[in-house]
Amino acid sequence: MAVGFEGLPQLFPVRGFRIGIASAGIKKPGRRDVVVMELAAGSVCVGMFTRNAFCAAPVTVAKQYLAGSAPRYFLVNTGNANAGTGRQGLIDAQQSCAELARLAGCSSTEVLPFSTGVIGEPLPLKKITAVLPQAIAALAEDNWADAAHGIMTTDTVPKGCSRRITLSRGEVTITGIAKGSGMIRPDMATMLSYIATDARIEQSLLQQVLDVAVGQSFNRITVDGDTSTNDACMMVATGVSGVLVEADTADIDLFRQAVIDICETLAQAIVRDGEGATKLITIEVINGRDVQECEQVAFTIAHSPLVKTAFFASDPNWGRILAAVGRAGVSGLDLEAITIHLGDVCIVREGGRAPDYTEERGAAVMAENEITIRVDLVRGTASARVWTCDFSYDYVRINAEYRS
């Protein structure tokens, strides 16, 4: 079970954004595994995609279609990633869009495909297209919770977050869902996330908002350091509320902050549900020269299997954290100045164990299931925050058994 999971919160419907779910039996019979999302005519849509060079066929197709048309539908399947499938994979992705377009009465290029699941197996196109009429018939605005379930793979819990905010011209709703549990690291770590709002906003401004929000959320998490082939984060503004959000206003600040909040909540939810995770670890690196070096130190700690196994064991083995800081590749670190805190407890000072540190105090912090490591580089004003989870027996079990 995901760390600190208290059930899916209420996900408010977004006017102009309808969702239909169906069961194609891609991996398991009866499992909800196909989700169709419908964007009202006139919706604005922006996205961010994986930077993995071997990106999956649906990513290639979605990027291409998005560049040329305003999307009317998203077609999402779980159970099969359609990645490492060569030219046939591209054809299959295009075919799935064409079939949905035919049924919905739009152009193929107005349908964006998304797939997640096992890599390297042919997309079961027929199974998917067979249930499209059922998914279309089910389209409704209040299906967010079902969609959060319908995009899961190795996730143990659904992930969603929703806000209603009052702006100068009225109230708008923003709702988002995400899936992801393994093959998670920055450069689009979401695997898949869909966020919709009924606000009216220009495409370039919406893209800016999403860029900032993803940079502070999905690009700041790691479970295993493996960038996925299929990551995508899509944001849609249907405009149906009629509430216009413009640049350089107090409204856009409120709107941006709400999107950041949602993305941060969803990103943390992915880490909380990281494969085998028993702890959520927040790594803050402060007082660096620039954000880049702070991120570098934070991710080096976050990726260390030795640090992650120590957290699993609730062992305040701060030597492993210190070693990770040392090998992060930041030149000219003043080792005698750096301090490291575990929660409120100072563990490292002046290059060694803090004088007032005791194993008991460290162990007390480690007993929590949400822990913050804070590294003070004492050489600037920049900072960065990254989230990760521990490394448990279950991580090995899940990944050793995933295909069997």
Residues serving a catalytic function are 190
CB of 175 to its own copies, least distance (A): 30
Nearer to its own copies, 39 or 365 (CB): 365
By CB under 8 A, residue 292 contacts its own copies: no
* Residue list 207-236, contact with its own copies (CB under 8 A): 224-229
Task: Give the tokens for residue 179.
Answer: 């899936």
- DSSP output for 346-390: EEEETTEE-TT--HHHHHHHHTSSEEEEEEE--S-SEEEEEEEE-
User: Among residues 13 and 182, whose Cβ is nearest to its own copies?
Assistant: 182
d(CA 263, CA 259): 6
87 binds its own copies (CB under 8 A): yes
Q: What are phi and psi of 313, to 5 degrees?
A: -85, 5
Q: Which amino acid is at 350?
A: E
Among 89, 124, 239, 274, binds its own copies (CB under 8 A): 89
Query: How distant, in Å, are the alpha carbons of 49, 206, 265, 266 from that of 166?
Result: 30, 18, 20, 22
Smallest separation, CB 351 to its own copies (Å): 5
CA-based nearest residue to 58, from 1, 136, 111: 111
Cβ atoms of 122 and 85 within 8 Å: the answer is: yes
**What's the min distance (Å) between Cβ of 105 and its own copies?**
33
CA 119/CA 313 separation, integer angstroms: 32
Give the count of residues interacting with its own copies (CB under 8 A).
66
User: Which region among 33-41, 149-157, 247-255, 308-316 touches its own copies (by CB under 8 A)?
Assistant: 308-316
Interface with its own copies in residues 166-205 (CB under 8 A): 182-183, 187
- Least distance in angstroms from the C-beta of 293 to its own copies: 12
Interface with its own copies in residues 39-78 (CB under 8 A): 51-55
Q: Which residues contact 161 (CB under 8 A, 6 or more apart)?
A: 9, 11, 175, 176, 261, 262, 265, 266, 269
- Report d(CA 181, CA 216) in Å as an integer: 19
In the region spanning residues 321 to 360, those forming contacts with its own copies, defined by CB under 8 A, are 322-328, 330-331, 333, 335, 348, 350-353
Report if residue 83 touches its own copies, rule: CB under 8 A: yes
- Answer for which of 265, 304, 383, 388 binds its own copies (CB under 8 A) is 304
**Binding residues vs its own copies (CB under 8 A):** 51-55, 81, 83-89, 118-120, 182-183, 187, 224-229, 303-306, 309-310, 312-313, 315, 317-320, 322-328, 330-331, 333, 335, 348, 350-353, 391-393, 395-397, 399-404
